[in-house]
Chain A
Amino acid sequence: MNDDRSKILASIRASLATAAGVRAARGPHGSPPAIAAPPPTTELTVPAVGPKGPASIRAVTGFQGALDRVQGVCHRVTSDAGAADALQAVIADLGVRRVVRSDDHLVIEILERVIGGFELLPPDADRSLLLQCELGVSRATIGVVEYGTIVLSSGDTQGVKGTPTERQRLVALLPATHVAILAATDLVETWDAALTALCSTSGDLPPTATFATGPSRTADIELELVLGVHGPKNQHVILLEHR
């Protein structure tokens, strides 16, 4: 198998050399090479992410509108108590009995304000129990205004690699409804900026980061749009304008 490695690399190099030879033989008057080197490095760098300040009202409404267009629901709140109310309403509306949460401190704080009536599971509950949960609550580390995207970075609660992230991978994936808690100061304008922010916050990438835009969907049967295939059917974002 190690042999395959050198075989592939040798083959690539030989091919590139052949192509270069042909190009050279064709001379400056030949047709321009299809594979030319000029790299697009400079224009490609994305606009730098500015220092975090209070999010503009434009960003908040922009995010809300974009999420709405992809059949997600954005709840704008201005206090932690408001967030708890919004969450409570979602839980009551759907008649949810079993909720799983991530271990993010803000998520825990907000859930503490929610009046019971359902069973609350921590993220390390047994997997068979997780599979039965109807709703999951976790934090979104970044929100993207242009698409209504939320970034779910998962992995390492201990910070073995980079800064600690919450444990939310299955919380945001298995239940039919996912509620993300997003601080307005974590909004960025573009997808590219979110990618930049993702590396710059921890200096290192988390084991996995999912950029999620609206509920999961398919059009595999006669191209008819159906929401909720394998991922969540309902995507709610509680947007904390005060944070």
Chain B
Amino acid sequence: MTASGSEPRETGSIHHLHAHQFDDLVPRALANVELRGALAKATNTIRNRRAIALEGIDDLQKLRGQAKAIKTEALAHLDEHLETFERHATANGIQVQWAADAESARAMVLKIAIKNGTRLAVKAKSMVSEEIGLNDALIDAGIVPVETDLGEWIVQLAEEPPSHILAPAIHKRRREIRDLLARVLGRPMPDDAAGLTEVARNELRGRFAQAELGISGANFLVAETGSFLLIENEGNIRLTTSLPKIHVAVVGIEKIVPRLQDLGPLVRIITRSATGQPISCYQTLVTSPKTSLEDDGPEEIHLILLDNGRSKLLEDDLTAETLRCIRCSACLNVCPVYRQIGGHAYGSVYPGPIGAIFTPLIAGMHAASQLPGASSLCGACREVCPVDIDIPGVLLHLRHRAAEGDRSTGGRPASDPQTAEKNRVMRRGFRLWRWAMGSSRRFEIFGALGRLLATVVGRVPSLAKYAGPLGGWTNGRAVPRSPGRSFRSSDVARRLRREEEDRKR
């Protein structure tokens, strides 16, 4: 099997992806002052907590190095580790299945659910489940999926997608949540966060007890022992994996680590990066279903290994870095773009810097090529990333892929129509620019023209909207005052020219 053949392997898919509407979604998000207020407050808080949590670590860079090395090693021999994992997990009594794409993963979950007569499924928050659109598939099959993570439950009731990898309801104010719950549950709600949380606990208890099926993701798969680790704070994952008779975990293939001891450094860094806690409340290591009559765990555990375009990322050392991601969401909280526009504007279940690279890599450039543009390339994301993913590097790489194409696209540009149009205009603009710069005569003419336009638009700002592609630029900025005459015709420039000629002589 060759990868360099003419047939590029298919990419995966992401549920409810509308990243191509990025240009429309962003202004809407920016106009939502309430959202921006909530976001600024929340991301600042998490950012500071993270910084404080990491101060306590003597050798942060060494720990990051370890975490990076573990994931790098795992990916370098991904095929072998997956096979090892499968062998051990199967020996432990876990039923392992492989899903090449989202559709096949959904079908597997549905089959298990239907076989066991599932009417109600409790779910622990899982990005992969969002990625493959599991909830919609369950609903279509007549099964009620209930999200049990507090934030995820709130956005499910609001019929919205999550807006943050870790804090799905980060964009919602308390007031909004109170009104939402009051409407859905049909009774008055308390005003404080503790009271609302109590309501959620009581509401969801019954669901846990009734559900025939528990669905989760996993943070890490351990090849050496065939176990997997679930990390959480609320206890809903413990309930999801303890009460229902059947537990299904859908997990991306990149979650593998070779050895049990690899969990140490990863657990040490993930929660600190995520919420700023030294450690999360619960890490649950699942190794097998219940083995005796007296035990209380699930009778069956199914683990679905999902590819959905991931394996293709390994073709290139740079894009492969994306698979190191442990979904801590630190990059979201520091990103100046995410902090302004929030998660929904990305039009993908994976928002922020990691979403801007992961989304087009998984779903294909034709679906999400504007996202790599959603960055100022300031590098803050890489600086905080616990596994040192070169996010700015991958962003640039993808912008290049959209504009020029690369090996993976057969040398042709690969982008959605909007990006293609932008790139076309830009290319024309720069061609004109190059021509204008080509002779001093043309340079002067264009300079004079520019000064004239700037003067006119400066006087009548409403004209700016006719400036074509430059109109966007003037949207949020005042047109600078024109200097009247060019620098080249100033006294200083003339003197400099004279000096230059003297020196030559």
Contact = CB atoms under 8 A, between A and B. Distances in A.
A16 B78 contact: yes
Interface string A185-219: 00000111001101100000111111111111111
B193 A222 contact: yes
A231 interface: yes
Contact of B193 (A10, A15, A149, A224): A224
A22 B316 contact: yes
A242 B296 CA distance: 31
A226 B194 contact: yes
B184 interface: no
A10 B291 contact: no
B265 interface: yes
A172 B410 CA distance: 57
A157 interface: yes
Interface stretch (B167-175, B212-220, B431-439, B447-455): B167-175
A210 B238 contact: yes
A4 B264 contact: no
A155 B92 CA distance: 13
B418 interface: no
B64 to A, nearest CB: 12
A94 interface: no
Given A14-B1, A40-B70, A230-B235, A8 B100 contact: yes
A43 interface: yes
A8 B305 CA distance: 10
Contacts of B264: 44, 46, 190-192, 195
A7 B347 CA distance: 30
B286 A207 contact: yes
- The interface size bin for chain A is 35 or more
Contacts, number: 288
Contacts of B32: none
A103 B297 CA distance: 16
A115 interface: no
A9 interface: yes
A1 B108 contact: yes
Nearest to B204: A230
A220 B169 contact: yes
Contacts of A8: 82, 98, 100, 253, 305, 307, 311
A37 interface: yes
Interface in A135-183: 147, 149, 154-158, 160-161, 167, 169-170, 173
Contacts of A5: 98
Nearest to B389: A34
A219 B83 contact: no
A226 B195 CA distance: 9
13 contacts: A4-B98, A11-B311, A38-B69, A155-B295, A190-B264, A195-B261, A207-B288, A213-B280, A213-B281, A216-B234, A217-B281, A226-B193, A228-B197
Given A123-B296, A207-B287, A231-B234, 17 more contacts: A4-B100, A11-B100, A12-B79, A21-B4, A34-B390, A36-B76, A40-B70, A43-B66, A44-B264, A160-B292, A173-B235, A192-B264, A208-B284, A218-B197, A221-B177, A222-B38, A229-B197
Interface of B: 1-4, 9, 38, 41-42, 45-46, 65-66, 69-70, 72-73, 75-79, 82-83, 97-100, 104, 108, 148-151, 154, 167-170, 172-174, 177, 193-194, 196-198, 200-201, 204-205, 208-209, 225, 227, 233-236, 238-239, 241-243, 253, 258-265, 267-268, 275, 278-292, 294-297, 305, 307, 311-318, 320-321, 390, 407
